[in-house]
Chains A and B, each alone.
Chain A
Amino acid sequence: MSRVRLRTLVERRVGYRWPSDRSGVPLTIPAYRLRTQLVALSPDADPYDAPPTDLEQFRRIDAIFDTGAPLTVLGHGRWRPFASDIRWLEQVPTPSGQPRRLTILGGSWTYRLAQVRLGVTDEQNRWLSAVWTPVLCLDPNPTTDNLALLGLRTPLLDRRRVRHAGTTPDDLPVWWLEDDAVG
């Protein structure tokens, strides 16, 4: 059984005024985002399930943990550092013969389907073994080059759960990605 702690990053807070608040002090809703520290492993890294040891061989991906995204999506700037470790997949041609496109972020972007061997770590050295994950690798575009989403369809989430476990002393929510049987 294993687990990793998801990273909680605070974005700009949403300000509002409660109608009954007579102090005049605006209140805020904290806006959190969960992120993970993914590690892309080479296809022939050995032994297969062990944590990586050589810093020079592995690339990390600072990705938003987004279960609302059906698939993992990486912008060109995110997958380029480990392009040689990507397993590209052939896709059936579209009827029109045009490249396949993904519609997100108010636009439509061409992509290539691939598999990447992704593990997950956290800031306390924990490690979830790497698995081949389907990834939409976007073509170069300034709007999407820095996009990195860990989507729902990945074996990294098989038989695992996301659990909210209170807050830290400085009031940040704690979230775990963990095997079903933990805790």
Chain B
Amino acid sequence: MTTNGTHPPPSAIPRDPTDPPDQQYLPDSWAPLLADLRWLDEQYNLGAFEAHRGEHVAAVSLAVVGHGRDLTELYERVARELGVPPGRVATVYVDELLFTE
């Protein structure tokens, strides 16, 4: 498991050798963003975002940097606070509860 903020984002993502030979990839410039997206999914599956049901959770450089129901406002707020492009902000939506006890 990746620990919050302790690993720098990668500059490139290793290719899967089982991929088809003509598989298309995003350029390596996307690697830090995709690492944040992967980290968000890991945290989601560990139950780290239970308190944010119905919200988007934002991460940059493997750390949670904000949350909120309004995605546009969240992008703009985090981008302004961190000085990064809104497109650099990774987010995951935490679904409303599907099941109750």
Contacts and interface: CB of A to CB of B under 8 A. Distances in A.
A51 B72 contact: no
Contact of A146 (B15, B34, B69): B69
Contact of B24 (A8, A51, A124, A172): A51
A78 interface: yes
A24 interface: no
Contacts of A121: 26, 30, 34
A78 B91 CA distance: 12
A49 B26 CA distance: 12
Nearest to B93: A62
Interface in B80-99: 85-88, 91-93, 95, 97-99
B37 A56 contact: no
Contact of A2 (B23, B69, B75, B88): B23
Contacts of B88: 55
Nearest to B35: A123
Nearest to A63: B93
Query: Which of A3, A125, A126, A182 counts the most chain B CB atoms within 10 A?
Result: A125
A55 B54 CA distance: 26
A62 B91 contact: yes
Contact of B26 (A9, A14, A127, A145): A127
Contacts of B86: 56, 81
A12 interface: yes
Given A12-B97, A182-B20, A55 B29 contact: yes
Contacts of B37: 37, 60, 123
A121 B24 CA distance: 10
Contacts of B8: none
B99 A1 contact: no
A18 to B, nearest CB: 18
27 contacts: A3-B20, A3-B23, A9-B45, A9-B95, A10-B45, A11-B97, A12-B98, A13-B99, A33-B95, A37-B37, A52-B26, A53-B29, A54-B87, A55-B29, A56-B86, A58-B87, A60-B37, A62-B92, A62-B93, A121-B34, A123-B37, A124-B16, A124-B34, A125-B13, A126-B26, A127-B26, A129-B24
Interface of A: 1-3, 7-15, 31, 33, 37, 51-60, 62, 77-78, 80-81, 121, 123-129, 145-146, 148, 172, 179, 182
Interface of B: 13-16, 19-31, 33-35, 37-38, 41, 44-45, 54, 56, 69-72, 75, 85-88, 91-93, 95, 97-99, 101
User: Closest 8 A-B residue pairs measured CB to CB?
Assistant: A123-B38, A55-B87, A1-B20, A56-B85, A127-B24, A125-B25, A125-B13, A51-B26
